[in-house]
Structure 1
Amino acid sequence: MKILISGQHGQVSRELQTHLKGLGELVVLGREQLDLADPAQIRHQVQSIRPHLIINAAAHTAVDQAESEPDLAFAINATAPQVFAEQAQELGIPLIHYSTDYVFDGSKNAPYTEADAPNPLSVYGRSKRAGEQAISAVAGQHLILRTSWVYSTHGRNFLLTMQRLLQEKPHLRIVADQIGAPTWAATIARSTAQLIERWQAGRAGPWGVYHLSAGGETSWFGFAQAIAAHLQAMGRPCASLEPIPTRDYPTPATRPLNSRLDCSHLQQQWGVSQPDWRSALHECLAGQHWA
């Protein structure tokens, strides 16, 4: 089986390249090989490769930057997924696409289910929602997997930023009223591998939109506390932490206060579940290589 993965150096793509080995031949297209803002180039690459499965792991993920470049965000997050979906349908193959908790406005007092109506607050969220709608409109075999607060030991993410700042600064003020589930990129890749294995074995569940994030919940402050505790256990210098409300940390893009996702539907329909965020973080940190 030939699996086309868009995105090469992103957090999820790098983990997919590790965890999908053995499931087929991986054809990975980074920015050098594929300009996601060029639909014609996407069509040409897919038709040339003729894969048996497409995984769109690339996205415009700079949430604040998207506010000042909406056209590019929509080209990469909405138009490109539509083209992938059209090409997948033409070839009669499935498409796996990753979306985000930011399609919701965060006003609900409980975890969001797939039945809840999206209402994104930012350009990034609106562009990702438009990508979901475009894929669904094509109506081919597809999985849209919404995840949240993605981190790993490479790239740009909250974990690596906190590890650096906690050792550089004496004191950090961290937002404490945004609630969600930090999700390790390897968790996403492992779950994706399980979904592919079930599809290959003829045990696929219904296609459509599913939530895929780590179990449990915390705030950005709670996430920072867990990272700090690990640094302290290693005997490394560590800043003191102060919880603050979102209003005290203004950003160009508005974030949802509630990013919790109910992932029970994926477990029920596909038999795939995720670990608690703390145990996943522990495994991630245990395998991290320090300079």
Structure 2
Amino acid sequence: MNILVTGYSGQLGYDVVKEGLARGLTMYGVGQKQLDITNEQDVFDLVEEVKPDAIVHCAAYTAVDKAEDDRELCWDVNVNGTKYLAKASKAVGVRFMYISTDYVFEGTGVEPFKETDLTNPMGYYGLTKHEGEKIVRDLLDECFIVRISWVFGINGTNFIKTMLRLAETRDELNVVGDQYGSPTYTFDLAQLLLDMILTTNFGIYHASNEGFCTWAEFADEIFRQVGKEVKVNAITTEEYPTRAVRPKNSRMSKNKLVENGFNRLPKWQEALSHYLNDLNQGGK
């Protein structure tokens, strides 16, 4: 199978390509330098050239706070770029997977959001990803829409790397303790996404490592596993104001994965241990 992956320069796209190659699949990863997804002709030309059997669309504008002001570019990448790729996918008749986000929900309550729950994004980034979902559903009868959350990978920056960097000079940190979600290792996620794209079990899915925690609890576990004595003070969202509103509830139900024969991912604590070991091994 020949799979085109956008967002290859990011955390998830990189691991999807790496995992596909390990399985003996033909992988074609493209980052910003190789493809401007906001240029419709460029998108169609590349898809015609590669002639993939499937497209995994990981590329996105993900600067959540900057998106509130940089709206034109955010829309162009997350909405128009997705539209062009979905149209190209339809034109050549290949499977399409769109990577979405927990930010499509309003983030209230305490119950995990189901795949069928109404979406109501609070910020502009979430709005553009929500619009991307709608476009994919409208254009393609058969597709995968996979909502993910709190990802971390070897390739790129993330919360874990930030915590480890801060711990080099700080022995006490304030971290938000009232936002709940599931940290997710892109290594685990990439395996699941490829398992999915090799089937015709199309639909909307939630995919993340198992278990829930707050950012403060996540930080505590990071420092515990690396043996760093850093005091983590759990603060409220209101005590750490940001340009964009963050969801306090990013819990997502993964029941649909099991219903369709896919395996749940490992617990987030296990994924963190695996990731830290990979970091120590130089990301191999």
TM-score when scaled to structure 1?
Answer: 0.93
Deviation, structure 1 residue 112: 0.3
For 1:168 and 1:123, how far apart are their aligned partners in 2?
A: 34
- Given the alignment, which residue of 224, 239, 261 partners 1:229? 224
Deviation, structure 1 residue 39: 1.9
Task: Determine the structure 2 residue equivalent to 1:251.
Answer: 242
Q: How does 1:263-282 map to 2 (within 5 A)?
A: 263-282=254-273
Task: Determine the structure 2 residue equivalent to 1:159.
Answer: 160
Determine whether 1:183 maps to 2:178: no
3-state SS, counterpart of residue 164 of structure 2: helix
Deviation, structure 1 residue 261: 0.6
Read off the aligned partner of 1:59 and give its amino acid letter.
Answer: A
Aligned length: 281
Structure 1: give runs of 5+ residues left out of the alignment.
Answer: none
Read off the aligned partner of 1:264 and give its amino acid letter.
Answer: N
Is the contact made by 1:89 and 1:140 (CA closer than 8 Å) also made in structure 2?
A: no
Deviation, structure 1 residue 196: 3.0
For 2:154 and 2:33, how far apart are their aligned partners in 1?
A: 23
Read off the aligned partner of 1:228 and give its amino acid letter.
Answer: F
3-state SS, counterpart of residue 287 of structure 1: helix
Please report the RMSD computed on the Cα atoms of aligned residues, expressed in angstroms.
1.4
Task: Determine the structure 1 residue equivalent to 2:84.
Answer: 83
Determine whether 1:209 maps to 2:209: no
Is the contact made by 2:192 and 2:262 (CA closer than 8 Å) also made in structure 1?
A: no
Structure 2: give runs of 5+ residues left out of the alignment.
Answer: none
Is the contact made by 1:194 and 1:272 (CA closer than 8 Å) also made in structure 2?
A: no
Q: How does 1:1-291 map to 2 (within 5 A)?
A: 1-21=1-21, 22-197=23-198, 199=199, 204-205=200-201, 207-232=202-227, 236=228, 238-289=229-280
Is the contact made by 1:85 and 1:140 (CA closer than 8 Å) also made in structure 2?
A: no
Read off the aligned partner of 1:171 and give its amino acid letter.
Answer: E
3-state SS, counterpart of residue 32 of structure 1: coil
Listed one character per residue, the Cα deviations across residues 223-271 of structure 1 (whole Å, up to 9, x for unaligned) are: 0001111221xxx5x4321110000000001000000010111221142
For 1:144 and 1:23, how far apart are their aligned partners in 2?
A: 24
Moved over 3 A (4+): none
Read off the aligned partner of 1:265 and give its amino acid letter.
Answer: K
TM-score when scaled to structure 2?
Answer: 0.95
Deviation, structure 1 residue 23: 4.4
Is the contact made by 1:145 and 1:210 (CA closer than 8 Å) also made in structure 2?
A: yes
Residues 83, 15 of structure 1: alpha-carbon distance in 2 compared, 3 angstrom cutoff = same
Read off the aligned partner of 1:229 and give its amino acid letter.
Answer: R
Is the contact made by 1:173 and 1:244 (CA closer than 8 Å) also made in structure 2?
A: yes
For 1:153 and 1:44, how far apart are their aligned partners in 2?
A: 31
Deviates more, 1:175-184 or 1:38-47: 38-47
For 1:283 and 1:231, how far apart are their aligned partners in 2?
A: 12
For 1:67 and 1:241, how far apart are their aligned partners in 2?
A: 29
